[in-house]
Amino acid sequence: MSLDAIGSVGGSHAPGEAGYLSIEALSKHHGAARSVDSLSLSIEKGELVALLGPSGCGKTTTLRMIAGLTPATSGRILVAGNEVTAVPTHKRDMGLVFQSYALFPHLTIAQNVAFGLEMRRLPRVEIRTRVAAALEMVHLSGREDRKPSQLSGGQQQRVALARALVIKPSILLLDEPLSNLDAKLRDEMRNEIRDIQTRLGITAVFVTHDQVEALAMCDKVAVMEAGRLSQVGTPEDVYERPANPFVASFVGRINRVAVEGRGNNAVAFQDQLFRTEHSVIGPATMMVRPHRVAIGTDDGARSGTANSLRGHVVRVTYVGDLLQYDVDIGGTSFMVEAATRGIAAAFRVRDAVRLEWQPADTLVFGAAP
Amino acid sequence: MNAVPGAGASRRAVLALLFPIMLVNLIGFIVPMLNLGLLSFKEALTGGGIGEKFTLANWVTLVTDDFNRELLLNSVGVSLAITVAALVLSYPIALYIQRAEGLWRSILIVLVISPLLTSAVVRTYGWVVILSDQGGLPSLLNAIGLTAPRMIFNTTGVIVGLTEILMPYMIVSLLAGFGRLDPRLEEAAATLGASPIQSFWRVVFPLTLPGVALGCLLVFVLSVSSFITPKLLGGGRVFLLATEIYDQAIVTLNWPLAATLSILVLVLFGLVLVVYGRAVAALD
């Protein structure tokens, strides 16, 4: 049996309209508190989009509103141009994979996967065929008659995925599906979920607080902070061109120093000018990713266009593939990461060093001139 | 907690610790039960005496005497009716409490348990006030133009009273058995296309069956053995095993027959336990 038994998913949708899944000014208020505040997001058919943010930013609430499990205070949700905001969950035709898997403990694996098909009153033969195909897709053939409690966490996760996909939902929703798995399994499931999603061409929303997961798996990343969207873009966009310091610091480790904008692509820090590709005036924030900074001996020749700082090493952390240096630059700590190439190249604590990085890697946030 | 059963000295320690309660059970339960069993094979003499001769007469009457057969059927029937009524009435309450949160949940649980703080006698007299011919409920029904059926000193009264009195046990048992009920499961069912009714019958109800089994066992056993409420609400016109044992032992002074009926109740409970064990095993 092959994937064809699962088939393509979702209804027809003409290109060129607003996204296949369209969220318009969606809000969820609890009294004065706003867990989701006027969130608008458009997702194209077949895209995998991450809702990324720290816990309590409203990403799970947003997902629950899309699924209809939490009523929206205001705003609209449209799927293929049809408003579903008031449609009850069981008529929304969305597959949801829960963080806790939420498998029915009293049913076998096959019965779990068949549940959605039985609700749709499909013929018995078709149910059997599609359940078998779905279990084969997640490599669980032969486990049909086990109970969920007899499977490992990773296997339960696969059953949850098969159960959500077998109904050919218009949209697949994933609520932190990998956070209960151990690190190695997580990488494996990450690729597997992405593969299946791409093969089926299903539109999917993936809620996570793990920026690596979001960047590695998704076509687009929507970064949320305190109920609002901070930035929506490709993984490269949010990593290389973050919209604000929050996004910059959330999608990876980054240095952050307060600087003075001088306009003309320059900022001042400790009476020294730094080149950047942004022009700002007045108090501003300069951010540089640790692995974009080169570390060298203090007497080393300075390359022409690079920004440069002198300091001394206060801490060296060896993490196998990386050496992480904390460098003191006149009272401020600066993180630098270097790939390990044998132990000889490593600097030691109290070594005087020169840090260099390119203007293109110098992110600056502040008031425009 | 190093005591591993079967490990020499610690095994002896375990037995030593268990000895007091074993002794209490032996003197307070096993010996009287054996005594009761013995008594059921003794001859009953007129005037409350107990003969020396052994006889099977008491046991034979259980089968041959229509009245005794009816006692058993009546007891089982009434108790089943009470069990079903208590289950149907308690289930929604238990489900609601299960879903309540925080202080409200605590208040509800206290409210459910609080009737147990009042003696069953007092609560039964409460039902007498409500159900008797000039009482609250019949008067109310008559006032709105209905003819009130007789609700006291008959089986109806016994069932109504015992159902209410045993409901706290049912609710607490149901709550204890609702452990596997995770609200996520209902949400999962909904996303898979199950309406709330389908979700209840396919997901919620099967997961609550352990609680249902426990509650039914407890209420059935308690209603077979309860005696004050049937005595008062039955008005001497409802004949059940428990009331008959009382009458034989205290009024007629036929102790051997009372002992026989008591052993019969014990056998009945044994059978119910077997059924419960099978049911629980089947649920796993």
B113: tokens are: 């348990």
Is B192's Cβ below 8 Å from some Cβ in A?
Answer: yes
Mean pLDDT over A184-212 rounds to: 90
Specify the higher pLDDT residue, B96 or A33. B96
Give the whole-angstrom CA distance, residue B131 versus residue B152: 6
Q: Is the confidence at residue B88, as pLDDT, over 90?
A: yes
Confidence band of A247 (pLDDT split at 50, 70, 90): very high
Q: Is the confidence at residue A214, as pLDDT, over 50?
A: yes
pLDDT of residue A301: 62
pLDDT of residue B8: 67
Residue B62 backbone dihedrals phi, psi, to 5 degrees = -60, -35
Q: Summarize pLDDT for B218-259 with one digit per residue, the tens.
A: 999 999 998 888 988 888 788 888 888 998 888 888 888 899
Nearest Cα of chain B lies from the Cα of A83 at a distance, in angstroms, of 17
Contacts of A100 in chain B (CB under 8 A): 182, 184
Q: Please give the mean pLDDT across all residues of chain A.
A: 88
Fold of B60-283: MetI-like fold (1.10.3720)
Is A79's Cβ below 8 Å from some Cβ in B?
Answer: no
Q: Summarize pLDDT for A19-72 with one digit per residue, the tens.
A: 899 999 999 998 888 899 999 999 999 999 999 999 889 999 999 999 999 999
| DSSP 3-state percent helix, strand, coil across chain B (nearest 5) | 80, 5, 20
- Cβ atoms of A345 and A351 closer than 8 Å: no
Q: Summarize pLDDT for B114-145 with one digit per residue, the tens.
A: 998 988 889 889 888 888 877 788 788 878 87
Whether the complex's predicted ipTM surpasses the cut of 0.85? no
Whether A102 sits inside 8 A of B187 (CB atoms) is yes
For residue A282, is it left (φ>0), alpha (ψ between -120 and 50) or beta?
left
- Closest CA in chain A for residue B206: A106
Which residue matches tokens 């318009």? A24
Best probe of the B interface among A64, A70, A79, A89, by most B CBs < 10 A, is A89
- Closest CA in chain B for residue A106: B207
pTM of full prediction above 0.90: no
Q: Summarize pLDDT for A287-312 with one digit per residue, the tens.
A: 999 999 988 887 766 667 788 888 98
Is A95's Cβ below 8 Å from some Cβ in B?
Answer: yes
pLDDT of residue A9: 44
pLDDT of residue A343: 60
Specify the higher pLDDT residue, A197 or B43. A197
Q: Summarize pLDDT for A95-134 with one digit per residue, the tens.
A: 999 999 999 999 999 999 999 999 999 999 999 999 999 9
Q: Residues of chain B with pLDDT > 90: what percent?
A: 48
| Cα–Cα separations (whole angstroms), residue A187 to A48, A109, A139, A228 | 17, 24, 16, 29
